Structure formats: C-alpha cells, structure tokens
Amino acid sequence: MNGPTQAQADRRVFVDKQSPRAYQALTRTAEEVRAVAADAGLDRRLVELVNLRVSQINGCAYCLHVHTRAALRAGESTQRLGVLPAWRDTELFIARERAALALAEATTNPADIAGQQDAYAAARQALTDDEISAVVWVAITINAFNRVSIMSKHPVRPIPAQ
C-alpha cells in the first residue's frame, strides 16, 4: 500500500471549513469580544493595533492582511502601522496604547513571566479593569484566529489595483 503523495501530504486542511461549527463559535466569540472592547471604551484603531501586533508575533500572514486593511479603515496611519513591530522605540503611541500593546504581547507569550508582570503593571497605570479585560480578550481571540489561519495555511492573494 502506497502512502500519500508529497502534494497530498503538503496540502493543509482548512480547519475552519472542515469544522464549521467550531469556527462559527470562534467567530461568535470574536463578535462578543468586539462588543466588550467597545463597551470598555477601546476604539477600533486600538483593537486593530492589538490584532496586528499579536499577528506579527505569531507570523500570521492572513490575519496581518485582514487586520491591516481593518486598521486603515478605522483611521490608523500608515506611519504607525509601519513602525508597529518597534512600537517601544517610537514616540508615536500614547501610554494607553503602549500598555495595551505590552499586555497583548504578554498574553501572546505567557511563558515570559517577567514580561507579563511588567506589562500588567503598566496596564494597571494606564487602563481601567474593563480595558485590561478587553485587551486580554482581544489578544486571546486573535491568537486563536492566528492558529486557525497558520495551521490551515490560508492564502493571501494580491488585491487588484483599484
């Protein structure tokens, strides 16, 4: 009996399509998290910065594609998007945004205990309890979507010129 061909072995299962009920549940969770973030007073630009920073850390091309476009639609500048990987080295982000980005990074890398403690301390200084909770939930949710897209190898296709 022959095993799968290399092409068959390389083909990824789109887990969102293969298990649509699980993906729909994740989508409903994301919708609720967006509402929690809005209720906490987080504007859409900050939510998208968190989504992008987490997706950068995880290397999720598909989520970077989706959330860059969402950030631009929300009014984010190309300058800030361009320097987001080095946000600590700029003066372009206010204390509240910096605290949220650090907290999102700590949520994405929970094994870094020192980083987690520093991020939480900064968040306590700049964010309310509701905002802290919302940022953590946004980071948790985008981490889940990153894993779906990375493991499924969702493609990023060129956008036709407009």
Annotated domain spans of the chain: 25-152
CATH H superfamily, domain 25-152: AhpD-like (1.20.1290.10)
Contact 137, 37 (CB under 8 A): yes
Name the 3-class secondary structure at 116. Answer: helix
**pLDDT of the chain, 162 residues: tens digit per residue:** 566 676 666 789 999 999 999 999 999 999 999 999 999 999 999 999 999 999 999 999 999 999 999 999 999 999 999 999 999 999 999 999 999 999 999 999 999 999 999 999 999 999 999 999 999 999 999 999 999 999 999 999 998 886
User: CA 7 to CA 150: how far, in whole Å?
Assistant: 18
Local structure of residue 89 (DSSP, 8 states): G
CA distances from 19 to 12, 15, 25, 46, 142 (A): 14, 6, 10, 31, 18
How is residue 85 annotated by DSSP?
Answer: G
pTM assigned to the model: 0.93
